[in-house]
Chains A and B, each alone.
Chain A
Amino acid sequence: MQFERAVSVEHVQKNYGKFRAVDDLTFEVHGGEIFAMLGPNGSGKTTTIRMILDILKPDTGQIRVLGGPLTEATKMRIGYLPEERGLYRNVPVLDVMIYLGRLKGLSGDEARQRSLALLQQLELDEFSRKKVSELSKGMQQKVQFAVTVLHQPDLIIIDEPFSGLDPVNTLVIKRLLTDLRSRGCAIIMSTHQMQQVEEMADRLLMISNGQQKLYGSVQDIREQFALHAIIVEGQGDWGKLPGVVSVEPAANGNGHGADRALLRLDDQTAPGDVLAAIAASGDMHVRRFEEAVPGLNDIFIQVAEGAH
């Protein structure tokens, strides 16, 4: 079942003694989306996640999960992969998965069959009888992910899902997550890997000092931080264009691009005006023209530093 509001957090506050960990936080997570939760270390992300999971109680505010207050039955429909994670080290992989699957409401047979299928999907089937301690860190990470999704939850909360994974396994997990999203699952992903957020997340929440700093779709937020500038790739005397205040070299994502330039515009000039002027000039050759929007990494640093 896909929920319009898989998680609804309203004016939630949490204090540890005199320290306010979460301050009047309000946001929603929808079914069928990957929702990124960002913030510097100690910003209140883990506390917020623990309150959603009912491990911690909020001091004030209301949290609704999968259509209502969190109940024992609702917990069975949530998959959680905490940042500081681990499994029973001296127990065979399959036994751990069956136990944790049974705790999530699966029968023994269901848990066994789904575990074996997931292990096969993750290319770990030959390790099912090995003890967890005999697996590499990356393999353990994949087993933990398998445990999180074993019971086919409606809501998944994962903290740093890609830490410790090589690029190949990162891709495997990304595919699994996007597959779950397409099936209507709501996914809350807490991470510091901005590239993954840009690639996968539909919306994000950034918190700092327990307060909401950014909230909305990834695209909207990037546009919100647009520089009022354009990036052009090609040949031409860009400084002659009307409305262009300055021309700066702009490296592309690979650090190359001798013919790539950042054109800062005055307040009266829109990017469309510059494009029209280039077309009219006749002596400029353009291969690429785009609005200069900062990456999430820059936005994160900008907001985090601003908060401090």
Chain B
Amino acid sequence: MIWKVFRYELGRNLRRKGYLFTTLGIPLLALLLPLAYQALTSLDVNLGLDAVFQSGDRTAQAAGYVDETGLFTDPGALIRYPDEAAARRAMQAHEVATYYIIPADYVATGDVIQVMPTFSLAAIDDEAIREVILNTLAQNVQPQVVQRLEDPARFTDIKLNQGGAQQAGSFDSSFLLVYVFTLSLLLSVFMTNGYLMQGVIEEKESRVIEILMSTLRPTQLLVGKILAFGTMGLIQMLAWVGGILVLLRLANVLDVISSLAVITVPLDVLPLVLVYFVLAYLFFASAYGILGALSVSMREGPQFAAVFTLPAVIPLWFIALFIENPNAPLAVALSLIPVTAPLAMIERLLMTSVPGWQIALSLVLMVLLIVGMLWLAGRLFRVTTLLSGQLPKLRDLPRLMRG
């Protein structure tokens, strides 16, 4: 019976446009956008050069400069013009695609002006003019020193975890990793459980629930739904995690996202992340199941959902603490308290080696809470369906639970 409910709910809800877009569309966009940007950028640059080629006047040298300081006599790859009028004429004659002006007060200000016929992001390029300037400024300096002047220091953060092993990373990349993972988990859990709650309320509102109750036990209906929406959530998480991993691979080859290349996902903790996702899902599924059972209309359910969602997102408020000191007492406590544990523990798992006993304790506490919540959902689901469209008061709940 559970299987029949599961199949129906899965078949019906997998086709939701919102779900399909967030599950497949977001990772696809995340992958396609950098690729498209990269492709467009190279296309734009090529077009610029093509324009110069077509003019037939110049070939490789596509940019010029005007030096008002009189210092930068070595043109390098650029064409030097005596004044701006000459440079402008050259650009209008398509001899150059763009030109730079080094103002007289350059040494004091460091300002350089680039002039182009029409604004184009792709044409903004300071490499050639930097080379011209550096060639002159560093005439008597060793090339290696020039390199060090350009890039004086590269930092690698070394975090010593509890086992003494070294782990490389930086605050920014860690923040991004933790943020993306926790946000994905939250989004997926709340989205799929939102569907679950909507489904329960729809069955109450349309009164189809009474027909179902004459055939199914309430727990069978609830479990079937929970499994169906859980499967949808799991598919979503896997699609997103897969998307993240592919994106990080692409970071090595795509300049536009090359800054992401420093992020390393600790693959060994991914199974545990999925376990916490499943537990988080089950906790919220039972909570939303209860809210669906108590609500009379689509208006109330989401309003009451804040009672459960606000405490659960507390670890997000302390994300900086989790990154800087994932073993701080508050971080440990939040990762053990069942309501906050899924997010808190995932944040810690991504940042440090969490002691086994803490993981075990948090899992046991979560499982106990989930069993209790599911039992409660089953009790409330049954009796409230039979109430004639009235929202029960808080003091009625013990009576409703007794049936």
Q: Contact residues of A with B, CB < 8 Å?
A: 17, 50, 53, 55-57, 72, 75-76, 78, 80-82, 84-89, 91, 95, 99-100, 102-104, 147
In the complex, residue of chain B having the shortest beta-carbon distance to the beta carbon of A54: B214
C-alpha spacing A81/B208, complex, angstroms: 10
Minimum Cβ distance to chain B for residue A267 (Å): 49
Residues of B within 8 A of A81 (CB): 211
Residues of chain A within 8 A of B216, CB atoms compared? 103
B195 CB, min distance to chain A CBs, angstroms: 13
A85 touches B211 (CB 8 A): yes
Query: Of B206, B211, B214, B403, which one neighbours A89 at CB under 8 angstroms?
Result: B206
Q: Which chain B positions have C-beta within 8 A of A82?
A: 207, 210-211, 214
In contact, A85 and B207 (Cβ under 8 angstroms): yes
Cα A91 to Cα B11 in complex, Å, equals: 12
The answer to whether B213 and A87 have CB atoms under 8 Å apart is no
Give residues 200-249 of B contacting A (CB, 8 Å). Answer: 202-203, 205-208, 210-216
Write out, one digit per residue, whether chain B residues 1-32 have a CB within 8 A of any chain A CB (1) or not (0).
10011001000100000000000000000000
CB of B180 closer than 8 Å to a CB of A:
no
Q: Are A53 and B202 in contact (CB under 8 A)?
A: no
10 new A-B contacts, CB < 8 A, other than A55-B213, A75-B214, are A50-B386, A78-B214, A85-B208, A86-B205, A86-B206, A86-B208, A99-B8, A100-B211, A102-B8, A103-B5
A102 to B3, CA, bound (A): 11
What residues make up the interface of B, taking CB atoms closer than 8 Å to A?
1, 4-5, 8, 12, 202-203, 205-208, 210-216, 386, 388, 399, 403
Cα-based distance from A79 to B357 in the complex (angstroms):
53
Whole-angstrom distance from the CB of B200 to the nearest CB of chain A? 12
> With A and B bound together, what is the CA distance between A147 and B208 in angstroms?
11
Q: Assuming A88-B206, A89-B206, A103-B1, is B386 touching A56 (CB within 8 A)?
A: yes
The reply to whether B214 and A55 form a contact with Cβ atoms under 8 Å apart is: yes
Q: Is the pair B210, A55 in contact by a Cβ cutoff of 8 Å?
A: yes
- Beta-carbon contact of A85 and B210 below 8 Å: yes
22 CB < 8 A contacts A-B: A53-B214, A56-B386, A57-B403, A75-B214, A75-B215, A80-B214, A82-B210, A82-B211, A82-B214, A84-B388, A85-B207, A85-B208, A85-B210, A88-B202, A88-B208, A89-B202, A89-B206, A91-B12, A95-B12, A102-B4, A102-B8, A103-B5
Q: How far is the CA of A86 from the CA of B212 in the complex (A)?
A: 11
The residue of chain B having its C-beta at the shortest distance from the C-beta of A76 within the complex is: B215
A81 to B205 alpha-carbon distance, docked (Å): 16
- Chain A residues with Cβ below 8 Å from B208 are 85-88
A85 to B213, CA, bound (A): 12
Expressed in whole angstroms, the minimum distance between the Cβ of A163 and any Cβ of chain B is 13
CA A46 – CA B50 in complex, angstroms? Answer: 82
* Residues of B close to A57: CB separation below 8 A: 403
